[in-house]
């Protein structure tokens, strides 16, 4: 174990007897634990942590984004689809290519406030004002800027500056420069917004004074969101989670428009390989994993599926176990060939998301992923409200009208999130998930392979080196963390190699909570700012 790993173990791994919270920021973990200590359940803790992440991890989530989750209440598992919606004025001719990633036209209707309020009202036990109090206090009093946030701000200065109003530039940078590491970042406008929502209810965001402010802000800056879009409150849809077996475990994950299919398909192909063949970090094993990830991306891109409008289309093939066996058999034969078959040149873009996992003493569990899409979203902030608009307009299809995610008014974007729950027979074992855009499923698959097949601890599985293979055959790999000769071997097979720094931010961030017997364990990603904590 490296010095870096040893130093972070106490923050990144926790054991407790009364419940567990793992999030992407220490203050969010504290907020979740505070709800559990106050007698709240896992949903109370998850919502408090999610609101807090929107304050102290603004590069990844916030009131302007969307949220999806799996909830287990001790008897039943539900998938909460908190997708955002395209504005009514949104159509292909209204969105230029430059609009999709930056600025006011990049934003869909924010759904995180509605989603968090809904699940807390239905499944939570504590008052909504109590749930939001930690986030309000942090917005008012501030939090310390981390080295990661300083670096991300440095990388995004140019994009912030492209927004004519300079709203995000002025709010999330300090005089046009990154906030210094350790400096206190206060957000008075956001505190006022959150306090208003806590006092008047979440409807104020969609039908009250806040909705009118957003409408005025969008009109002034050429955006497409209007009061009418917000008034059609994007309450979440409760869906049936996807489920498949891996080894002797049952994995539940997010149905479309989420990407649980990707995780389950990758695990099903892996399940067809004897576990002993995946225990070694040899070249052939890594080659097989790379091709599993590439084939998974191909399957998902070939089978776009929107349950809201394409209910007649079934994803049976992608989740059919016999089909998964056929795919892995083909992969096993292919890896022994001299060169990789023809590659396409497309690669997925980088995105930004956050994840948290909670299990309480009564066996209730939440696996929650939320996002504003790319790092710092659209880079445009809501005037006087302190949050960044998302840029989920990037995730629609703009060329093929037959694609279910072709941009049209009120459509939902295609998402890559895969919040998941794992059961040992009938018993809840783990809640887990990750940010990372198209790398989410590969990050989680590698983590589960390490824990289940290789019998690693949660901490060791999280720290272990990662790779990812894009649809176009580009393998991203952490520098100096794999056996000698692996890079040369993969290059000789025809892949393009993308060397990332050790413990790369790009390759996902596992946040997991687990329960075994009367003991809870939690792990938070060493590659980012999070912590795990229990009561």
Please give the pLDDT value at position 237.
97
Band of residue 105 on the pLDDT scale cut at 50, 70, 90: very high
Q: Which of 242-256, 352-366, 399-413, 465-479 has the lowest mean pLDDT?
A: 399-413
pTM over 0.85: yes
pLDDT in tens, 401-415: 888 888 999 999 989
With cut-offs at 50, 70 and 90, classify the pLDDT of residue 338. very low
Neighbours of 399 (CB within 10 A): 7
Average pLDDT score over residue span 106-126: 97
Looking at the DSSP assignment, which residues form a beta bridge with residue 359? 20, 365
Using the predicted structure, report yes or no on whether residue 535 has a pLDDT greater than 70. yes
Q: What is the pLDDT of residue 497?
A: 94
The HSE-up count of residue 401 (CA atoms within 13 Å, CB side) is: 3
Decide which of 337 and 43 is more confident. Answer: 43
* Token representation of residue 123: 């499944």
Q: What is the pLDDT of residue 468?
A: 95
CA distance 438 to 436: 6
Mean pLDDT lowest for which of 103-107, 319-323, 513-517? 319-323
Reported in sequence order, the residue ranges of 341-466 that DSSP labels E, i.e. its strands, are 353-360, 365-371, 420-424, 427-433
What's the pLDDT at 278?
66
Instruction: Give the C-alpha separation, 7 to 220, whole Å.
Output: 49
pLDDT at residue 320 is higher than 90: no
**Does residue 360 surpass a pLDDT of 60?**
yes
Percent with pLDDT over 90 in the chain: 76
Please state, in angstroms and rounded to a whole number, the distance separating the CA atoms of residues 535 and 525: 20
Q: Pairing state of beta strands 365-371 and 420-424?
A: unpaired
Judged by DSSP in three states, 178 sits in coil
447-471 mean pLDDT: 95
Q: Please report which confidence band the pLDDT of residue 11 belongs to, taking 50, 70 and 90 as the band edges.
A: confident
328/322 Cα distance (integer angstroms)? 10
Residues 250-309 pLDDT 10s = 999 999 999 999 999 999 999 998 877 666 557 888 999 999 999 999 887 766 666 776
Structure confidence by residue, pLDDT tens digits, 417-444: 999 999 998 999 999 999 988 899 999 9
Residue 7 has pLDDT above 70, yes or no: no
Q: What is the pLDDT of residues 480-503, one digit of tens each?
A: 999 889 999 999 988 999 999 999
CB 81 within 8 A of CB 257: yes
> Is it the case that residue 334 has pLDDT exceeding 80?
no
Query: Would the pLDDT of 312 be above 50?
Result: no
Residue ranges of the chain assigned to CATH 1.10.246.130: 242-350+421-513
Q: Which tokens go with 341?
A: 């078959």
Chain CA centroid to CA 290, Å: 21
Encode pLDDT of 217-259 as tens digits: 999 999 999 999 999 999 999 999 999 999 999 999 999 999 9
* Class (C level, CATH) for 242-350+421-513: mainly alpha
Instruction: Read off the pLDDT of each residue in 25-50 and give the average, rounded to a whole number.
Output: 98
Mean local confidence (pLDDT), 153-161: 96
Q: Is 214 left (phi over 0), alpha (psi -120 to 50) or beta?
A: alpha
DSSP 8-state code for residue 322: H
Cα 407 to Cα 132: distance, rounded to the nearest angstrom: 34
CB atoms near residue 80 (< 10 Å):
25
Residue 472 is predicted with a pLDDT of 87
Average pLDDT along the chain? 90
State residue 332's pLDDT score.
Answer: 73
ω into residue 465 within 30 of 0, thus cis? no
Reported as a pLDDT band with limits 50, 70 and 90, residue 101 is confident
Cβ atoms 98, 113 nearer than 8 A: no
Note the pLDDT of residue 314. 52
For the ranges 157-171, 301-315, 445-459, which has the lowest average pLDDT? 301-315
pLDDT confidence of residue 345: 47
């Amino acid at each position: 174990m490296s010095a870096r790993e040893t130093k972070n173990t106490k923050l990144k791994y926790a054991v407790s007897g009364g419940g567990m919270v793992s999030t992407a920021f220490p203050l969010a973990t504290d907020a979740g634990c505070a709800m559990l200590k106050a007698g709240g359940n896992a949903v109370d803790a998850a919502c408090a942590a999610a609101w807090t992440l929107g304050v102290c991890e603004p590069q990844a989530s916030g009131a302007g984004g969307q949220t999806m989750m799996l909830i287990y209440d001790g008897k039943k598992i539900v998938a909460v689809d908190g997708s955002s919606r395209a504005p009514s004025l949104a159509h292909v001719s209204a969105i230029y290519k430059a609009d999709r990633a930056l600025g006011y036209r990049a934003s869909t209707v924010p759904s995180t406030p509605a989603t968090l309020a809904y699940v807390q009202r239905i499944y939570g036990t504590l008052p909504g004002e109590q749930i939001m109090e930690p986030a309000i206090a942090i917005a008012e009093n501030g939090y310390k800027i981390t080295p990661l946030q300083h670096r991300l701000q440095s990388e995004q200065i140019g994009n912030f500056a492209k927004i004519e109003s300079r709203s995000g530039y002025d709010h999330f940078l300090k005089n046009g420069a990154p906030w210094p590491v350790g400096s206190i970042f206060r957000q008075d406008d956001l505190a006022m917004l959150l306090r208003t929502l806590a006092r008047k209810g979440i409807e104020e965001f969609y039908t009250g004074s806040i909705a009118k402010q957003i409408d005025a802000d969008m009109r002034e800056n050429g955006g497409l969101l209007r009061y009418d879009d917000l008034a059609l409150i994007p309450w979440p849809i409760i869906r049936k989670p996807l489920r498949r077996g891996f080894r002797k475990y049952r994995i539940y994950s997010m149905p479309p428009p989420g990407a649980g299919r990707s995780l389950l398909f990758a695990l099903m192909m892996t399940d067809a390989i004897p576990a002993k063949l995946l225990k070694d970090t040899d070249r052939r094993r890594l080659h097989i994993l790379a091709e599993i990830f590439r084939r998974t991306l191909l399957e998902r891109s070939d089978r776009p599926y929107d349950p809201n409008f394409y209910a007649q289309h079934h994803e049976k093939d992608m989740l059919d176990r016999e089909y998964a066996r056929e795919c892995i058999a083909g992969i096993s034969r292919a890896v022994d060939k001299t060169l990789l078959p023809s590659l396409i040149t497309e690669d997925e873009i980088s995105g930004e998301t956050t994840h948290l996992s909670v299990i309480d003493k009564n066996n209730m569990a939440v696996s929650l992923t939320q996002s504003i899409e790319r790092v710092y979203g659209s880079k445009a902030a809501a005037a006087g409200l302190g949050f960044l608009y998302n840029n989920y307009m990037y995730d629609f299809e703009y060329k093929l009208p037959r694609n279910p995610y072709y941009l049209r008014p009120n459509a939902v974007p295609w998402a890559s999130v895969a919040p998941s729950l794992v059961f040992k027979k009938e018993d809840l074992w783990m809640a887990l998930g990750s940010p990372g855009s198209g790398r989410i499923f590969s990050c989680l698959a590698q983590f589960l392979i390490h824990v289940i097949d290789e019998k690693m601890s949660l901490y060791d599985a999280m720290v272990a080196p990662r790779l990812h293979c894009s649809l176009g055959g580009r393998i991203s790999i952490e520098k100096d963390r794999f056996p000698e000769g692996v890079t040369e071997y993969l290059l000789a097979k025809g892949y393009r190699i993308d060397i990332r720094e050790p413990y790369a931010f790009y390759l996902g961030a596992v946040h997991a909570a687990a329960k075994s017997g009367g003991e809870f364990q939690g792990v938070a990603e060493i590659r980012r700012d999070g912590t795990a904590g229990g009561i």
